[in-house]
Amino acid sequence: MKHLSANLKDSLTVGGVALLLFGPFLGLQLTNSGSGNLGLAARPELLAIAVGLTILARFLLLLWQDHRVTRKPSLKLAATVTKSGKYVAPALLVFTVIMPLIPGIDNSYVDLGVLIMTYVMLGWGLNIVVGLAGLLDLGYVAFYAVGAYGFALLSHYFGLSFWECLPLCGILAAAWGIFLGFPVLRLRGDYLAIVTLAFGEIIRLVITNWVDFTGGPNGISDIPHPTFFGLTFDMAGGPGTVSDFFHVDPDPSQRTMYLYYIILALALLTNWVTLRLRRQPLGRAWEALREDEIACRSLGINLRNTKLSAFAIGAMFGGFAGCFFATRQAFISPDSFTFIESATVLAIVVLGGAGSQLGVALAAIVMIGVPALLQDLQIYRMLIFGIALVAIMVLKPRGFISTRRPSVSLGDAKIIGADMISEGHG
């Protein structure tokens, strides 16, 4: 009874806050009097429904949280998720490979797949920094921008192709990752987040204001598309094009499919390298740094090299993704590299479960694919999407896949469930 009264009081307090927030937006409506003058009309019924639903949702949430606290931690669900992941990941990979080859599939879905896999690659790159090393990075978009502008400028001033610039963009972004890592070696938590956020904004301001070199707010256009062994995807056809070499009619879907398999290969490379590194001494040093920096130092692990390697390798994959973004769009500007991009990639990592490769891929599908598929719902799509995200974070506060399996173990690896991790025993 004591808990119920406290929950009811908390719910009414939340209802009062909802009344203040919803009042101007739902309680009032602009009207046209007919003579050209605007007026305000009250909508008390809609406001009352919204506030009532908020109070009810908060009360049910508190009841569910009380029930969850009293439950005994169990690894049964964790083991089920881990076993299902052995089948979900291969099935998802097979579907991803054959999706563009499905007869009659619309080109827009293939293009959406390109966008989703771009964010999957960005999420896997940031997962090295945030999920494995435990370093909160809010400026990851800076490395994305370095890769994109690196390719655009190299192709504009030196005439280099996409395949020539791809490794150079990765090296350039990794160098900037090391450059960022040195000043923040002694920073942790919120202070590290603030510095990385500032770094991302500095990069954006530089490319915005250095007009003579980067084009400033106008950006850079006419960025070349990738070629297929020297053959271009020109819709006009002619010698030196894919359509002429293979004797097929030019089609926009050919370029889209080619870009699809390029970003798929880059994403799989990112995943393979991450999984390999995780089992190496460097990967175990990242995980030790994430769990306890003091204990990590006491074991003789070089924290400087460990942090710099995480920043550099994560930035390198961000540079690869930026290079691909530039060749896909054929135009880039500073507006494509704002803080919201960093926030989106970080949300994908957190929503999927920090350190989980499969979870990041599933979160990218939810964060990027679902809003695009709900375009027909217009203004309601973001409302539905927001409610879904809130529900996911309430039900799965540590992400889609919150279990943890040690990278190295004696005998069978013991699965650590989300309950143990949240209690500080992981």
**Along the 426 residues of the chain, how does pLDDT read in single tens digits?**
567 788 888 888 888 888 888 888 778 887 776 666 777 778 888 888 888 888 888 888 888 777 665 555 445 555 565 566 677 888 888 999 999 888 888 888 899 999 999 999 999 999 999 888 888 888 899 999 999 999 999 998 998 989 999 999 999 999 999 988 888 888 877 888 898 999 999 999 999 999 988 888 998 988 988 888 888 787 777 787 877 777 777 777 888 899 999 999 999 999 999 989 988 888 888 888 888 888 888 888 888 889 999 999 999 999 999 999 999 998 999 998 988 888 889 888 888 887 788 888 988 998 888 877 777 666 666 676 677 777 777 776 666 676 666 666 656 656 555 554 443 333
63 shares its domain with 93: no
- Phi and psi at 32, nearest 5°, equal -110, 120
Q: How far is CA 423 from the centre of its chain?
A: 26
111 shares its domain with 208: yes
Show which of 21, 47, 70 is a domain's final residue: 70
Show which of 26, 48, 70 is a domain's final residue: 70
61 shares its domain with 115: no
235, two tokens: 């819709």
Work out the number of other CB atoms within 10 angstroms of the CB of residue 116: 21
Count of structural domains within the chain: 2
292 shares its domain with 194: yes
pTM of the model: 0.82
Instruction: Tell which phi-psi region holds residue 346, choosing left (phi > 0), alpha (psi between -120 and 50) or beta.
Output: alpha
85 shares its domain with 40: no
* Residue 356 near residue 131, CB atoms below 8 Å: yes
129 shares its domain with 59: no
Q: Which of 412, 391, 360, 411 is nearest to 121 (CA)?
A: 360
Q: Which of 303, 286, 307 is nearest to 294 (CA)?
A: 303
263 shares its domain with 321: yes
336 shares its domain with 364: yes
8 shares its domain with 116: no
Residues with Cβ within 8 Å of residue 321, at least 6 apart in sequence: 118, 121, 122, 125, 144, 147, 266
Degrees, nearest 5: CA angle 395-399-404: 120
How far, in Å, CA of 318 to CA of 270, rounded?
10
- The CATH number given to whatever domain includes residue 369 is 1.10.3470
64 shares its domain with 81: no
Q: Domain of 107? A: 76-422
28 shares its domain with 80: no
How close are the terminal C-alpha atoms of the chain, in Å? 34
Show which of 70, 88, 121 is a domain's final residue: 70
Residue whose entry in the numeric block shows the structure tokens 């960093």? 342
169 shares its domain with 242: yes
